[in-house]
Structure 1
C-alpha cells in the first residue's frame, strides 16, 4: 500500500478536508437523484424563490458534515466511508435505473432476494456505474493518507467546530426558507426516501427493529371480560356516531371562540356541546389515532405495544356491540383491522370524489343500509374524516362551501398569502362543521328505534405560519398549541340523556370549564355504550361525573 502511494505521489491531506470532500461528493453525485427531483418540483411550481433553490445543495452538504463528523476518527474513518460510498453507489443506481424507493419494505425485499435474482440486475451499464461512482472513489479514499490531530482533546475540539458551523448555516437557511422546505417536503414525502445514505440506513434499522426487537412481541388481546350492562327504565338500544376529525385545530373553530363563522351548521343544533380545552395525544395521525383507541394514556403511550394489541373497537366487539369503521383518510392505523370496516374509494363515488380524494359528505352514502336492522341493537359507527388534511387544503371542500375567499387552490402553500392560506384552511373547518351537522341530523332520524349520541374529536391540530411553523408533526414537547389543541363536540338525544340519567346542564358546564384530552375517549365510549370491563376508568369518562346518581351522591 505504501509503495503504491509512493508510486502515485499521494501526499497526506487533513481529515477535515476529506470530510468536506465526502460531503460534497455525496451531495452532488450520490444524491443527484434527489436534487434533480427537487428542482423538477420547483419547475412545476413555476413561481419560487431563487435563493431557496440555490440553498438546497448547501443544506445537504451541511447536513452531511454534521452526520459524518462523529465517524471521522482515525481507525473508523476509512472503513466507515468506504462502506457508505459502495452501498450508496448501488442504491443510487437502483433509484436512477429502476425508480426504486428505499424504505423498510424495499430493504426487506433486498434481504430476501436470492442470488440468481440479485445477479440479474447486474449488467455492463451497472458495472461501469458502480466502478466509476463506487469502486473508484472508495479506492481513492483507501489510498490517500489522512492527517489527524495529535491529541484526543484537539480532535474533539476540531470535531465540535465541524458540527457547530454547519448547524449555524442550517439555522440561517432555515430562518429564511423553512416554510418552503416544509411545504415541498410535506407534498413530496418521497424526497426523504431518496436521500443517500439515510434512506437505506433508516430502512435497515426499521427492518431490524421489527424483525428482531419486536418480532417476538406477542399480540395482546384485551377486554375479554367486556360485557354490555342493561339500563334501567329504557329498552332502546344505543346508536353512537364516533367521528374522528383530521388536522382540525381548536383555534380555528368558531365554537371554541374563533372570530370567524367556521361553525355555522353545528351552532344551529340544539344541545351540541363544544368542549373548550381538549389536548391531543400526538401531533400526527400515526400517533394520535392508535393512542386515543388504546387503554394507554398519553404519558404512558407506547406505539409498538399499541401495534401489537387490540384496542377500543375490539373491546366493543367483545362486548357484543355491532361496530363499523368508515375510512376516508389515509387508513385507520391498525385500530380497525380486526372489525368490519369500509374504505371509501373514489371509484365508487365519482360525484363526491374529485382531485383524487373524496369530500367527507361521502360518509353519508349508504348510511341507512348500514344502520338498518330487522332488530335494532347496540351499534357504533366510527367515521374517519379527511377533514383539514394538508397541505392541499383546497381539495377538502366542494365549490359550494368555498365561503372564505380568496383561497389558495395550490399545494405549495408557501406561495400563498397569509390571507389565502387562512381562508383555505377555514373553509376546511367550516366544511367539517357541515359534515358533523349532517351526521347529527341523520342520527336524529333514528331516534324512534335508538337512543342516539354523537362524539366528534380531531386527531391533532395544525400550524399555519405561527412562529414560522407550518403543518404539524412537531415533537410534542416542543409543539405549539396550534398542533395539540383540538376541537371536540358531543350531542345526544333527549332519550339518550334520560336513559343514561345524564344531567345536560352539568355536561355543558364541563364543556366550558373542564380540561380534557384524547385520554378520555376510551372510557367515555365504553361508558356511552354501557360496556363493563376492567379496562374502564370512570375518572376519565366524560359522562360519568354528570350522571344523576354521581351528582346526587356528591350533593349528599
Structure 2
C-alpha cells in the first residue's frame, strides 16, 4: 500500500474513530443553541480529518511511520477508553496523576472490557500496520514534494473553512474550552509536553528549606504534651457522607462520638492526589499553588520537625507525594499484614496495628502521626472494605464501574465511605486511650472527591475550573479531648458553629495544624487557622509571636 493511503487511513481513524467523544460533545453543544449554521455543524469532522492529515504527514518517512503510528494508536486507544468510559479529561494535571500512579493502582483498571477494547481498537490495527508492506517514494525529492502537497492541500481547505466559520468555532471554543482537552491525540501529547517542560524547567531549582524559625510555644495552661492524629482521606466526597447531609447512614460510627465535628463546606486544592496532598501540606494556597515549587521545597511535616515535634507518617495509599520524604515514615506493605491485606491492598484498619508502640514512650512529648489511608480509592471500590462492612448491597465487585447499575455503584462507594467512618472512629477511640499522657486532637480531611456517573463522569482528575462539586467538595472532621480544649483555651461551641456555617478548604490545613501543635513560625497565618477565632487570646497571641508572622 502506498504510504499516502496509510496517512489517510490513520487520519480517518483518529478523526472519526477515536474522536467521536469530542464530536458527540460538540454536537450536544450545538443542540443547546437557539440557532446555528448547518454548514458549521457539517464541517466539524472535516476539520478533524484535515488537521490530522497536516499533523501526521511529517511523520510518514520510511523508518519513522510504523513505530510512530503504532505508539500513537496504543496511547490514543487508551486515552479514548478513559474518556468514553470514565469521562476523564486529559491535561497536564491528569498526565502528572498518571505518571505518579503506582503499579497496583494501574492494574486495578484492567478488566475484560478494557482488554477487549484495547485489543480490538489498538492492538489489532497495530499488528496490521506492522505487517503491511508500504511503498515509499523512489527519490527524496519526490517524497518531499508529495508530503508538501499532502500538507498544503488540507491547509488550504482548512483556511477556507476558517474563513466561513471562524467566528462560530471561536465562540464555541471560548465558551467550551474542555473540547480542546478531548481531542485525541493532541490532548495527552500537549499535556505530556507541558509536564516535561515544567519538570525540566525546574530541574535546576534549588531545594528550599522552610519554617526553620519554627518553635513550640510553651503555655502555663498546658499540663501535658500534645498528640495529634492527622488523617488524610482518599477520594471521599462530601455528598456521600451522612454527617454532611447525605440521606444514607454512611457516618454511623463517628456520629456516636461526643464532640466529633463535621465541617459542612470544605473545598479541595485539586482533583487528584498528586495535586491535593502536596498543596495542602504547602504554605501556598490553591490560587497560587505551583506543584514544582512544592516539589522543590519542604512541607508542613518538615516545619513541625524543625519545631521539635515528633512526627510520623503512615502510608497505606499511593505515596505521600514528597511531603514525608525527610521525616520518619512507614509504608504499609501487604506482605507484613496478611490478615488485613487479602485483596492485594490493605484495609485501612491496618493503621491501628503497632500504634501503641509508636505512641507510647518513656517521656511523652509533642507528637503528630499522619495516616494516609486508602479510603475510597477507585475504580475497585469493592476492595476497600472487608466483608463485615458490606452493608449496602448489591454492590459492584468489578473495576469497569461504568457497567455497574447506578444502584450497585452507589452501594459500593457508600460502603467505602461507611468503612472510612469506622476507621476514623477507631482511630479516635484509640486516641482517647492516650489521654492520661497527652492532650489529644484528631483532624480528618479527604484529598479530593469522586464522580459516580453524574453528567457521564466517573472517577476524578477533571480540570479544577471545570470539575463538578462531586470532585472538589470533601468531608472534614475534627475531634478533641476536653483536656486539649482546656489547655488550648478553645471554645468548642464556637468551633461547632464554625463547622456548620463556615467555608473552608485545604488552604486551612497548614496553619490549622501549626496552631493545633502550638508551633510559632513566620509561615503561620491566623486567618487560615480554623481554631484561631475560637482560641483564647493569650494562646493565640503566643502563636503569633514570630518576627515575620503575618496574622491575617
TM-score (norm 1): 0.73
Assess if the C-alpha contact under 8 Å between 2:213 and 2:521 holds in 1.
Answer: yes
After superposition, the CA RMSD in angstroms is: 4.1
> Aligned runs of 1:192-231 on 2, under 5 Å?
206-211=195-200, 213-231=201-219
> Aligned runs of 1:494-513 on 2, under 5 Å?
494-513=482-501
Q: Name the residue aligned to 1:313.
A: 301
Give the Cα–Cα distance (whole angstroms) in 1 for the partners of residues 501 and 72 of structure 2: 56
- Match of 2:232, SS state, is strand
Assess if the C-alpha contact under 8 Å between 1:89 and 1:134 holds in 2.
Answer: no
Give the Cα–Cα distance (whole angstroms) in 2 for the partners of residues 353 and 206 of structure 1: 34
Q: Name the residue aligned to 1:79.
A: 58
Q: Does 1:368 align with 2:371?
A: no
1:540 pairs with 520, 523, 528, which one? 528
Assess if the C-alpha contact under 8 Å between 1:78 and 1:142 holds in 2.
Answer: no
Give the Cα–Cα distance (whole angstroms) in 1 for the partners of residues 355 and 74 of structure 2: 47
Give the Cα–Cα distance (whole angstroms) in 2 for the partners of residues 481 and 131 of structure 1: 45
- Match of 1:350, SS state, is coil
1:484 pairs with 461, 468, 472, which one? 472
Change (3 A) 1:79 1:403: closer
Structure 1, gaps ≥5 residues long: 1-7, 28-53, 96-102, 106-127, 169-173, 176-181, 183-191
> Shift in Å at residue 77 of structure 1?
7.3
Q: Name the residue aligned to 1:303.
A: 291
Change (3 A) 1:440 1:23: same
> Shift in Å at residue 55 of structure 1?
6.2
Moved more, 518-527 or 409-418: 409-418
- Match of 2:227, SS state, is strand
Q: Which has the larger radius of gyration?
A: 1
Assess if the C-alpha contact under 8 Å between 1:225 and 1:533 holds in 2.
Answer: yes
2:453 pairs with 465, 473, 493, which one? 465
Q: Name the residue aligned to 1:289.
A: 277
2:68 pairs with 71, 88, 107, which one? 88
Give the Cα–Cα distance (whole angstroms) in 2 for the partners of residues 352 and 243 of structure 1: 19
Q: Name the residue aligned to 1:44.
A: none
> Shift in Å at residue 22 of structure 1?
3.5
- Match of 2:336, SS state, is coil
Assess if the C-alpha contact under 8 Å between 1:88 and 1:197 holds in 2.
Answer: no
Give the Cα–Cα distance (whole angstroms) in 1 for the partners of residues 165 and 135 of structure 2: 26
> Aligned runs of 1:301-450 on 2, under 5 Å?
301-450=289-438
1:157 pairs with 152, 157, 160, which one? 160
> Shift in Å at residue 157 of structure 1?
3.0
1:269 pairs with 225, 238, 257, which one? 257
Give the Cα–Cα distance (whole angstroms) in 2 for the partners of residues 328 and 467 of structure 1: 31
Assess if the C-alpha contact under 8 Å between 1:273 and 1:490 holds in 2.
Answer: yes
Give the Cα–Cα distance (whole angstroms) in 2 for the partners of residues 518 and 367 of structure 1: 27
Assess if the C-alpha contact under 8 Å between 2:50 and 2:154 holds in 1.
Answer: no
- Match of 2:442, SS state, is strand
Give the Cα–Cα distance (whole angstroms) in 2 for the partners of residues 143 and 314 of structure 1: 61
Show CA shifts across 1:78-106 (max 9, x none): 435549626516858999xxxxxxx989x
Change (3 A) 1:409 1:534: same
Show CA shifts across 1:169-220 (max 9, x none): xxxxx99xxxxxx9xxxxxxxxx9xx98987886666445433x11111111
- Match of 1:353, SS state, is coil
Give the Cα–Cα distance (whole angstroms) in 1 for the partners of residues 366 and 154 of structure 2: 74
> Shift in Å at residue 311 of structure 1?
0.9
Give the Cα–Cα distance (whole angstroms) in 1 for the partners of residues 190 and 135 of structure 2: 22
Assess if the C-alpha contact under 8 Å between 2:198 and 2:292 holds in 1.
Answer: no
Assess if the C-alpha contact under 8 Å between 1:20 and 1:65 holds in 2.
Answer: no
Show CA shifts across 1:324-369 (max 9, x none): 1101111111111111111111100010012111000000001001
Assess if the C-alpha contact under 8 Å between 2:514 and 2:520 holds in 1.
Answer: yes
Moved more, 399-408 or 131-140: 131-140
> Shift in Å at residue 549 of structure 1?
2.3
Change (3 A) 1:336 1:403: same
Assess if the C-alpha contact under 8 Å between 1:69 and 1:162 holds in 2.
Answer: no
Assess if the C-alpha contact under 8 Å between 2:7 and 2:56 holds in 1.
Answer: no
2:503 pairs with 515, 537, 544, which one? 515
Q: Name the residue aligned to 2:86.
A: none
> Shift in Å at residue 155 of structure 1?
3.9
Q: Does 1:455 align with 2:440?
A: no
Change (3 A) 1:147 1:135: closer
TM-score (norm 2): 0.73
